[in-house]
Structure 1
Amino acid sequence: MTAFDPGIHALRRERFMEQLGAAAAVIPAAALTTHHADCEWPFRQDSDFFYLTGFDEPDAVALLLPHRPEGERFVLFVQPKDPAAEVWTGFRWGTEGALERYGADLAHPLDQLQEKLSGYLNGAEAIAFRIGRHPAVEPLVLAAWGRQLDMYARSGEAAFGLVAPTPILHRLRLRKDPHELARLRDACRISAEAHELAREMTRPGMRESEVQAAIESHFRASGARGPAYGSIVAGGDNACVLHYTANTAPLQDGDLLLIDAGCSVEDYYNGDITRTFPVNGRFSAEQRELYSLVLAAQESAIEMVRPGGTAENVHNTALRTLVEGLVDLGLLVGDPDGLIERGDYRHLYMHRTGHWLGLDVHDVGAYRLGERPAELETGFVLTVEPGLYISDRLAVPEGQPEIDDRWKGIGIRIEDDVAVTDQGHEVLTHIAQKSLAAMES
């Protein structure tokens, strides 16, 4: 558990408003979502809203107003204190808490948003709001903007553009500050510990669900909120289904177990780790060959993580290692350059090698800037996760060899979370072992 620090969010708001110019931003919180009947999913705050405010209650709206005077630039609309409601659904900070704990300049009950929004937006040159994501708030924003446009002939003031806040906000979120890196290290440590626990306990005859239960129990016992995403615990051929989450099958002697699982800590930063190991503690010859290849691809790709590098280069490095190795094993035939250009490897490796990581598991930020890939910078965090999935689910490309049965049902992925540093990189998930020897220990 980490102590709440309102200064961190205040600094983020300051940076955000500096880049907004004279635009006014409307940033809604997440709403509760129905699971079934009158039961709701556990609440998960909108990441953009949380990044700027730290406020962790549903049905709130933040206004960031750089065009207003000091003392009026951060406004929160929140659910008011209501003892009767809190008996049923829990504590609320209310408007007083929004001011005293969360540093709002002004705070109002949420039901006053429609009445007050136009006044706060007056004088802004544009309105920054993400269309299509917040159905309860969007009509209020559009109506307030419409009233400004209707009154322009008399007032001479109106916001003449509706712009997305996300390009600015997501550039800020892509570069992690020291606090964020510390929280990501916590998430990665807890996640890695769970993977070590899982490998130690796994035996033939157990069910995937037993391993999942142990992993997720460790998350909660260590102070995390729980899984960052649906845990994948996939034995044997199930590992060839990339997003397998049934986790119900028995673990067979002679199969591999692929576990893709990570936790989300209290303030939503995430770990995302994949490890693959033999259920009985010993690789078969084919499993060993493929595991060694995936590990070599991952290690070569991690070496490409450095300032000035690119996520595309990380992927291309892993891909070339995999394709060259598959040619050596006879699972592909031909020149590696041609195989890569034609995509003739995609029945064996069908995903990219990684993604940004942060408040979201698949975190925000551009991978390309027009025609060129975005360069890695200090503070960026990404996963590096090559894999191979040998099955007959996808057709073998014309000219490529049919897959011998001895290879089928082997699915392997190795994934680490890697931060870009001034000196190169830091593997945040290093506690989770991955060497051949460790996987057989």
Structure 2
Amino acid sequence: MTIFAQRRSRFFAELGGAAAVIPAAPMVVHHADCEYPFRQNSDFWYLTGFDEPGAVALFLPHRDDVRFVLFVEPKEPTAEVWNGFRWGCQGAVAEFGADMAHPLAELPQRLAEYLKGAEGIAFRVGRHPSVEPLVLQAWGEQLDRAPRSGSAALGLVAPCPLLHGLRLRKGPEELERLREAARISAEAHELARQVTRPGLSERQVQAVIEQHFLEQGARGPAYGSIVAGGDNACVLHYTANGSTLRDGDLVLIDAGCSLSDYYNGDITRTFPVGGRFSAEQRALYELVLAAQEAAVASVAPGFTAEGVHGTALRVLVAGLVDLGLLVGDVDGLIEQGAYRHLYMHRTGHWLGLDVHDVGAYRLGEHHVELEAGMVLTVEPGLYVSDRLPVPEGQPAIDGRWKGIGIRIEDDVAVTDRGHENLTAAALKTTSAMER
């Protein structure tokens, strides 16, 4: 709990005289009266470590006595018989460091009093329909009293820029958890490549991956695992995983685990189902690998995520010109976006408690510079199909290239002197992909 207390202290400093209201995630209905497995709101978890649904946390830097308050579901034997253990109010104080805890049902009558005296209220509008009316009511009451009392919260602001700036820079304990998620995820990819053979279904390979996640103590997959054979790999978010893997095709696997405390791995590897690349597959694979390795090598303090993308993009476009899949000057092709029928996404994203983690990539006209503690994925790819039209002036795609989809993705932490590839244990050389 010391770690969460330190995070709250940093958050208090960012809030200044404003109070923040951060709700937990609710349970979400899957169908009828069955619910999805619970997944805590990442902002709430980052500040509290409290893993129960429906709770509400108040952060009150304007007060000297009670600064961290939790509203939680109380201990109740009948509810616990059906849905499991609850910490209750006493546990929220004793185990999670709250200065005060109340039953959730008391939030409507207590919220306004706790917010009194704050210079502003930090609350994310539009996301928490059960809590939002209570926050707006409390704020409205302050505004109504302002002519008499002489004080009121000056505005309702989003806590996201403050909190997400903190989450973008990972502490040592977070990096350790991301290394663990990367380890488990990399092992699963190695297992998947060992078992893959023609005739297996994509779902059978998915089962091997996700079984390893669970056996290693992870909650399960961090996102819908992608096991995409052949032309399915040209669908970026393909998750049906229902086709049979065929000799002569490549299979693209994008999968990572989520740990018990929600830190995630995110790895993509692509390899031949039958163990050998065709000439066209090899040429495109080596091109994507060269782009990915150049982009990973560029990760360092002072560079930018945009620069990492640009590094990969330039290698890809130059290689596509050499292969005859594009024609023209590399700079011109990049400026025109004439490559986007073959490479239509960015080269990576922040990684942490969310797979596509929070944090700005640019502030106005300026791209955010990489700093030690930031973690991002590096994942260039090429996808050759008829789904997108070939831009005017570019060559028609010969059939021998079609149906080849390749992506290579690693999780990379920025260090003081450069970077650390957290997922290096998942092999990716051309020779390692063959057997």
Report the TM-score, using the length of structure 1 for normalisation.
0.98
Q: 1:400 and 1:160 mapped to 2: Cα distance? A: 56
Among 108, 115, 120, the alignment partner of 1:114 is 108
**1:202 is aligned to 2:196:** yes
Of the candidates 261, 276, 284, which is equivalent to residue 282 of structure 1?
Answer: 276
Match of 1:43 among 25, 38, 56: 38
- Secondary structure of the corresponding residue to residue 313 of structure 2: helix
Distance between the aligned counterparts of 2:315 and 2:151, measured in 1?
60
Aligned residue in 2 for 1:182: 176
2:25 is matched with which residue: 16, 30, 34?
30
* Residue 435 (structure 1) shift: 0.3
RMSD: 0.5
Deviations 1:162-216 (A, max 9, x none): 0111111000000000000000000000000000000000000000000001100
* Code of the aligned partner of 1:60: A
**Shift in Å at residue 413 of structure 1?**
0.1
2:155 aligned with 1:161: yes
Cα distance in 1 for partners of 2:373, 2:410 equals 16
Distance 2:136 2:112 in 1: 10
1:371 aligns with 2:365: yes
Q: For 2:333, what is the secondary structure of its paired residue?
A: helix
Name the amino acid aligned to 1:271: G
Where do residues 191-230 of structure 1 align in structure 2 (5 Å cutoff)? 191-230=185-224
Give the CA deviation at 1:353. 0.1
Matches of 2:259 and 2:116, distance apart in 1: 39
CA–CA distance in 2 between the matches of 1:90 and 1:252?
A: 45
Contiguous gaps of at least 5 residues in structure 2: none
* Displacement after TM superposition at 1:326 (Å): 0.2
Question: C-alpha deviations, 1:127-161, integer Å up to 9, x for none?
Answer: 00010110110000000011111111222221111
Indicate the residue corresponding to 2:379 in structure 1: 385
Q: Percent identity?
A: 75
Aligned 1:241-252 pairs, distance under 5 A: 241-252=235-246
Which residue, out of 52, 57, 60, partners 2:55? 60
Q: Deviations over 1:329-364 (max 9, x none)?
A: 000000011110000000000000000000000000
**Secondary structure of the equivalent of 1:30?**
coil
Give the alignment partner of residue 307 of structure 1, picking from 294, 301, 304.
Answer: 301
Match of 2:419 among 416, 425, 441: 425
Q: 1:325 aligns with which of 311, 319, 323?
A: 319
In structure 1, what is the Cα distance between the partners aligned to 2:361 and 2:368? 5
Q: Deviations over 1:11-43 (max 9, x none)?
A: 000000011000000000000011100000110
Unaligned runs of 5+ in 1: 1-5
| Structure-2 separation of matches of 1:155 and 1:92 | 40
Secondary structure of the corresponding residue to residue 174 of structure 2: helix
- Provide the C-alpha distance between the structure 2 equivalents of 1:157 and 1:109, rounded to a whole number of angstroms: 29
Provide the rounded CA distance (Å) in 2 between the counterparts of 1:131 and 1:153. 26
Distance 1:359 1:239 in 2: 26
2:389 maps to 395
Q: In structure 2, what is the equivalent of residue 265 of structure 1?
A: 259
| Distance in 1 of aligned mates of 2:307 and 2:149 | 54
Q: Which residue of 1 aligns with 2:401?
A: 407
Write the distance in 2 (CA, Å) between the matches of 1:235 and 1:255. Answer: 7
**Structure 1 match to 2:71:** 77
Structure 1 stretches of 4+ moved >2 Å: none
- TM-score of the pair, normalised by structure 2: 1.00
* 1:264-313 C-alpha deviation (Å, 9 max, x unpaired): 00000000000000001100000000000000000000111000000000
| Code of the aligned partner of 2:132 | E
What is the CA–CA distance in structure 1 between the aligned matches of 2:147 and 2:379, rounded to whole Å? Answer: 57
Q: 1:148 aligns with which of 142, 156, 164?
A: 142
How far off is 1:423 after superposition?
1.2
1:137 aligned onto 2:164:
no
Q: What is the DSSP-based 3-state SS (H/G/I as helix, E as strand, rest coil) of the residue aligned with 1:325?
A: helix
Shift of 1:371: 0.3
Q: Does 1:10 align with 2:5?
A: yes
After superposition, give the CA deviation of every residue in 1:363-389 in whole Å (9 maximum; x if it has no partner).
000000110110000000000000000
SS of 1:303's partner is helix
Could you list the per-position Cα deviations for residues 79-110 of structure 1 after superposition, in whole angstroms to 9, with x for gaps in the alignment? 00010011111110000110000000000000
Report the secondary structure of 1:357's partner residue.
coil
Letter in 1 for 2:173: H
CA distance in 1 between counterparts of 2:339 and 2:132 reads 45
